[in-house]
Amino acid sequence: MTPEYEFHQRDRDIHPPAFTPVYKTSVLRSPRIPLWSLQNSLSEITGPTFSRDELGPLDNDLILNYAKDGKPIGEQTIVHGRVLDGNGRPVPNTLVEVWQANAGGRYRHRNDTYIAPIDPNFGGCGRMLTDDSGYYFFRTVKPGAYPFRNRVNSWRPAHIHFSVFGSGFAQRLITQMYFEGDPLIPHDSIMATIPNKSAAERLVAKLDLNASLPLECLAYRFDIVLRGSRQTLFENKLHGG
């Protein structure tokens, strides 16, 4: 009945605050009353588990998982890395989901009306489970930059959205990954919501030439860290583990 562990308090200083006028949409969608701090119960340390048979064999291959009469246009790219927790331990068998625009910066979404064309062979989403060492990888085409309605002339740098679960629902995280060297990053209003510069830099994936496939595919490396946890050592000892 006693939770074996609980998550470390979330360090809110490395996350964007809720209210960030530089990103205008946040203004009306940000609670003004402080969050109530809630010590972990079973409801927070547990969370959904997923199995490999729920996923299809091409779910992590965005080059092939929506291919109709050919492959999508764009720079063939591998993104890979590990999901770790704050203690440095791998997070195995956790669900990682990704979505992105196509190489022209257009999303396959009924609400996206940008002038860049839809790519008939690109869906723009994928998913995978980490292995026992927390490792994940997927293949895709590098997304394009696109404009969005924020300031008069706001553009998003190329990015891939990530959703990650972890072992407990309190670790739930959605974020975005950027590409090393993108000149739009310093101008991005979404990146600018993160006040801590070194935290923001951790969202920029590094070019990983060693993992690139010669004559075939570039690679970028993106490690993800979820909240760590504390074992309740004293209680375990007292009760004989």
Partner 1 sequence: MSDLYLPETPSQTAGPYVHIGLIPNQAGFDIFANNFSGDIAGPDVAGERVVIEGRIFDASGHIAKDVLVETWQANAAGRYYHPADRQDKSLDPKFRGWARTGTDFETGIYRINTIKPGAVAGRRGRKTMAPHVSFWIASRGINVGLATRMYFGDEAAANAGDPVLNIIEQPERRQTLIAARSEQKGQTIYTFDIHLGGERETVFFDV
Residue 114 lies near partner 1 (rule: CB under 8 A): no
Q: How far apart are CA 40 and CA 68, in angstroms?
A: 47
Active site residue 146: yes
CB-nearer residue toward partner 1: 123 or 147: 123
Each residue of 79-114: b (16+ CB within 10 Å) or e? Answer: bbbbbbbbeeebbebbbbbbbbbbbbbbbbeeeeee
CB-nearer residue toward partner 1: 151 or 213: 151
Site for partner 1 in 126-145 (CB under 8 A): 127
Smallest gap from Cβ 155 to partner 1, in A, equals 14
Residue 160 one-letter amino acid: I
Site for partner 1 in 11-30 (CB under 8 A): 11-18, 20, 23, 25-30
How far is Cα of residue 112 from the mean position of the Cα atoms in its chain?
Answer: 21
Q: Which stretch binds partner 1 (CB under 8 A): 68-76, 85-93, 132-140, 209-217?
A: 85-93
Q: How far apart are CA 11 and CA 4, in angstroms?
A: 22
Q: How far apart are CA 23 and CA 152, in angstroms?
A: 12
Residue 60 lies near partner 1 (rule: CB under 8 A): no
Site string for partner 1, 208-237 (x = CB under 8 A): ----------------xxxxx------x--
Active site residue 161: yes
CB-nearer residue toward partner 1: 145 or 225: 225
* Strands, E assignment, 86-142: 95-99, 125-129, 135-141
Catalytic residue among 23, 66, 106, 107: 107
Each residue of 173-205: b (16+ CB within 10 Å) or e? Answer: bebebbbeebebbeebbbbebbeeeeebebbbb
CB-nearer residue toward partner 1: 88 or 214: 88
Binding residues for partner 1, rule CB under 8 A, total: 93
Residues classed as catalytic? 107, 146, 156, 159, 161
